[in-house]
Chains A and B, each alone.
Chain A
Amino acid sequence: MIKFEYFPRQVIEAGGNRWDWALLPLVLSALVLLAFGAAQMSHPYQIGAPMPIYLDPAYLPYYLLRTTLRMFIALGASIVFTLVYATLAAKNRAAEKVLIPLLDILQSIPVLGFLSITVTGFIALFPGNLLGVECAAIFAIFTSQAWNMAFSLYQSLRTVPGELQEAARIFQLSGWQRFWRLELPFAMPQLLWNIMMSMSGGWFFVVASEAISVSNQNIKLPGIGSYIALALEQRNLPAIGWAIGTMVIGILLYDQLLFRPLLAWADKFRFETEGGETGQSSWLLTWLRRTERLQFIARGGLKVVEKSFSLFRREYDGTSIRARPQPISDKWSRIWDAGIAALVLFAVWRLVTFIHSEVGAGEVARVFLFGFYTLIRVLVLIGLASLVWVPVAIWIGMNPRWADRLQAVAQLLAAFPANLMFPLAVVFIVYFNLNPDIWLSPLMVFGTQWYILFNVIAGASNIPSELRYAAQNLGLKGWLKWRRYLLPAIFPSFVTGAITASGGSWNASIVAEYVTWGNTQLEAHGLGSYIAKMTATGDFPRIALGIGVMCVFVMSLNHFLWRKLYSLAEDRMHF
């Protein structure tokens, strides 16, 4: 779908223009690097064999390459998954009935939980090769990205404006043509935004997924995550510093080389046909658009898609008998419903027998209690973080000079894996001999509070200036100003931020409630530490139980709290 027609720059030079020559070495070296990294992934390996990781900073670029490769393979898989899954769910009612609730559940399963459950399976898939472990790590990153991308695409496909759909039907676009010409372009900005957020979130899980400890085995895949894990084990603070530096560079490179160009490109898919607000700009995109040779390749790709249009087209119009609508029979949909119901009943029965034979009802009750502890932590800390960040964010958002810059910083902070700060917390807690049940809790929101910050900054900077003048003019002051003006104005963006932060905090609880620094181990009572401990000992029934219970908690919280707040914000509080 890449089109570069809008920068017609006819440079008549047989050997391409100067941009071509500048780009050539860049492209070639990128290809060589990728090939090298990929070759390293498939490597003979036996479980238990030592895998050397070096803390020498000279290895960091290589580790960054390996980690980046993993993230992009996961991203590729997520995109393919999203296209298939969301399209199926949006177009097929029978599939939708199963796929959408399933996605809702998958979304609330902690990412690290997936890792605990699947890693042995992946290892068994490629015996004697590192590829299995690689796959497990990639799968973990995939699970942190895929679900919200699929949701985003599904939502977009469902909300394609009615008149455009009618136009597509009047001009008799086939399903295939409609997807490429209407639906995917319409979904593109939202999808890209979600991909970007997912990639940011991915960093957090990279650290946790590269250094896998399963069934008392420690496996460290070469990568930034393992480097950090080793530095934590060896209490090497300078190495952690180097790792932080490398990650910042990595995040900046992603931003400049990938996301900014993509966002700038996707600007043309914005649906508002009004001109108005100018979109993103990217030096790289401008550069690429001026590069003849790349344009040539892009046009070639585009041609293929357009060729496919004449292949997959409607061959009859509305006067043919083939266009006659088939009476929809209720029978099959009833059979389908019955099938689903039977499957659910069977699963419930299996679940009950499983709990009864493997773990016992007492254990279930205990795990629910743990879940309750973690729930209290999440809610209290989101509340505290809001108390701190909402006023700060409003202040920043109302100062346009700061808003843009600080919003970018907050996004960077959100991408930054908070696990790096955990050692500090351990030292602090041990030194002052504090209660880990209370003092480990802040770690859960450490990485996720930034979502509240940057969403509210965005919300505050979008308050219409007329409203601002009116509030000034009326002389609103003190509590009244907050209650009647500022808080309602930022409420929708606050809710969006808090939902993301809450989801992230549940995920983080698995690492935040169970922290190690060298030989020191701190543990808080909660569902996260329960899952972490059971993963370390390889007790699969209990891992499954822990994950299941967390899933129940997250879904209930989403259903009973966040969705209500969200619809309140949608209904009553927007400009």
Chain B
Amino acid sequence: MGKEIDTMTDTLIELKNVEKRFKSADGMARTVLEGVDFELQDGEIVALLGQSGSGKSTLLRVIAGLIQADGGDVKYRGQPLYGPANGISMVFQSFALFPWLTVQQNVELGLEARGVSQDERAKRAEAAIELIGLSGFEGALPRELSGGMRQRVGIARALVMEPDVLLMDEAFSALDVMTGEQLRDDMLELWDGKSTPMRGLLIVSHNIEEAVLMADRILIFASDPGRVRAELRISLPRPRDVDSVEVRALIDQVYALMTARAPRAGKAAEEAVSLHLGYRLPEADVSRMEGMLELLSEEPFNGRADLPKLVDETDLTDDELLPLADALHLLGLAQLAHGDIVITPLGKRYVENEDVRQEIFGQQLLAHVPLAAHIRHSLEQEPSGELPEGPFLKLLRESLDADEAERVLKVAIEWGRYGEAYEYNYNTGVVHLPEGEEEAEAE
């Protein structure tokens, strides 16, 4: 089977001009990946970074053979890839263990599927379990294990197949920070120890530090449609020290790349950016934004902070903090530049006067978030001052998938409520003008 495949080339995975479209519920096709070129070379660790919805998980699934690309070529060791291949294995974000199978049975699953004899299976599973440090837990059910142990089972299950290429889909993000770091270090040790036949490792991550510490190459994805926006080579030897100057500089650089506006928004970083209606509003809740703004204005930052420092200070993860920074930037309360965040004069006023906060927030929201402005504008034309959410959702679904459309509208509603631009009734699903305003509008 896998043996006939050409093992002489140095390119493990090769993607050319890959395209993927999904059909949404109302039959509209959305492009998730567009013109993606990608190569995974022999002996290489590559990390894919990007905000949620940028298509990096989709790309991983195309490489895994779980999803068929709609256009372009996908090749594994020179052969076209139509489905999951023997040489490619995967570790999942929420482990995907079969809860009714013991640790050993879970690890043996792929071997059993391939028809390996029971003795051989037991022998190989034993070795994999030993390798990943789970000896003694063979008979346990997943529910008896902690999160970190479960992910070890997930890794053992993938490694026992002796994969050529291992894919990790945010494999450490469901774990607490310490466990995640521990597992990451163990993984790197395995990789560098060359005790497995693994030739390539592709990780999808939210965590910038993780990517910088692990990868030989980082690809940063942009959304709508998903494509590779930037590439960064890291030639530092592993293991890398988080506190070393080089690593800090790299982390700063990645933050800058991640927070840089897409080129099409132009160089208008001074004024807030002009967005389109279906812009993916960042998942940022108002009280956290306020907290971050306050933190930023105080000692030791005094209005200007290095993003990685802010991550340390707030105990937020990258995928929690970046949307906050993004939202503050959108609303003109802070500015992002070169991996730093700087409070604006308006932001300062916002922090200092508690009474005007909601007013400022509302003004900025209507001025800079087209979706919010559109909702408000449409409501003002209604004599009753109310409209069902349906049409807005439909509008968003034209450029986003159903879940994402709902999420974006939820963010717009939360911001609108806080800024007193409009309100929302959960039970009826109706958006309406704030109490006391509709009569005034009707005059």
Contact = CB atoms under 8 A, between A and B. Distances in A.
B115 A268 contact: no
B86 A172 contact: yes
Contact of A269 (B83, B85, B99, B102): B99
* Size bracket of the A interface: 35 or more
A271 B99 contact: yes
B24 interface: no
B79 interface: yes
A147 to B, nearest CB: 27
Interface in A5-60: 5-6, 8
B109 interface: yes
A172 B84 contact: yes
Interface in B65-79: 65-66, 68, 76-77, 79
Contacts of A323: 82-83
Interface stretch (B88-96, B236-244, B296-304, B323-331): B88-96
A483 interface: no
A570 interface: no
A163 B99 CA distance: 13
Given A171-B161, A173-B109, A174-B113, 19 more contacts: A5-B139, A163-B94, A164-B96, A166-B92, A167-B90, A167-B96, A172-B113, A172-B114, A173-B113, A181-B109, A273-B142, A274-B143, A275-B143, A309-B115, A318-B65, A318-B76, A324-B80, A325-B68, A572-B427
B8 interface: no
Contacts of B231: none
A325 B82 contact: yes
A316 interface: yes
B114 A319 contact: no
B interface, over-half SS: loop
A321 B82 CA distance: 8
Nearest to B80: A319
17 contacts: A163-B92, A170-B89, A171-B84, A171-B109, A171-B157, A172-B110, A173-B113, A177-B113, A272-B99, A317-B86, A318-B76, A318-B82, A318-B83, A319-B76, A319-B81, A323-B83, A572-B427
B92 A167 contact: yes
B98 interface: yes
Contacts of A324: 80, 82
A202 interface: no
A504 B250 CA distance: 68
Contacts of B76: 318-319
Contact of A319 (B85, B112, B150, B161): B85
A270 interface: yes
B64 interface: yes
A273 B66 contact: no
Nearest to B427: A572
B427 A169 contact: no
A41 to B, nearest CB: 37
A317 B83 contact: yes
Interface in A260-294: 268-275
A170 B1 contact: no
A309 B113 CA distance: 7
Given A8-B139, A274-B143, A185 B82 contact: no
A310 B121 CA distance: 12
B97 interface: yes
B5 interface: yes
Please give me the 6 A-B residue pairs with the lowest Cβ-Cβ distance, nearest first.
Answer: A318-B83, A171-B110, A323-B82, A310-B115, A163-B96, A167-B96
Contacts of A166: 61, 64, 66, 90, 92, 96
B136 interface: no
B129 to A, nearest CB: 16
B19 to A, nearest CB: 16
A557 B2 CA distance: 57
Interface string B123-166: 00000000000000001011110000010000001000100000
A315 to B, nearest CB: 8
A489 to B, nearest CB: 16
Contacts of A319: 5, 76-77, 79-82, 85-86
B113 A164 contact: no
Nearest to A177: B113
B83 A313 contact: no
A191 to B, nearest CB: 14
A572 B427 CA distance: 7
A320 B2 CA distance: 10
A552 interface: no
A564 interface: no
Contacts of A318: 65, 76, 81-85
Given A164-B98, A323-B83, A309 B143 contact: no
A457 B159 CA distance: 48
A413 B327 CA distance: 59
A408 B186 CA distance: 51
A119 B189 CA distance: 72
Nearest to A270: B99
Contacts of B95: 163, 273
Contacts of A173: 109, 113
Identify which of A185, A317, A320 gathers the most chain B CB atoms within 10 Å of its CB: A317
A366 interface: no
Identify which of A8, A166, A316, A321 gathers the most chain B CB atoms within 10 Å of its CB: A166
A302 B98 CA distance: 17
Given A273-B142, A306-B112, A316 B94 contact: no
B78 to A, nearest CB: 9
A270 B96 CA distance: 14
